[in-house]
């Protein structure tokens, strides 16, 4: 049961990241055209994307760790 819960949560997180990434990438591209080289705006968006990935990978590894501990 624990295994199923953890893996489905990880899968849900993966889906969320996959769906969010193109949107954020498009936003960054649009911003780049709009602001030119206003690096702060673009870096902010990029950092949000990186945070999303970091949170997901951390969560995923935590789930794996919990599964193997069972």
Give the pLDDT confidence of 10-67 residue by residue, as tens digits. Answer: 666 666 666 666 666 676 666 666 655 566 766 777 777 777 777 777 777 777 777 7
Number of domains in the chain: 1
36: left (phi over 0), alpha (psi -120 to 50) or beta: left
Range of the domain at 55: 2-69
| Verdict on whether the full-model pTM lies above 0.85 | no
Q: Is the torsion defined by CA of 49, 55, 58, 59 positive or negative?
A: negative
3 touches 67 (CB < 8 A): yes
């Amino acid at each position: 049961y624990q295994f199923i819960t953890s893996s489905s949560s990880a899968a849900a997180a993966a889906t969320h990241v996959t769906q969010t990434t193109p949107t954020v990438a498009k936003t960054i591209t649009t911003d780049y055209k709009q602001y030119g080289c206003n690096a702060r705006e673009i870096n902010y968006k990029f950092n949000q994307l990186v945070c999303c990935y970091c949170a997901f990978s951390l969560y995923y590894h935590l789930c794996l760790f919990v599964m193997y501990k069972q």
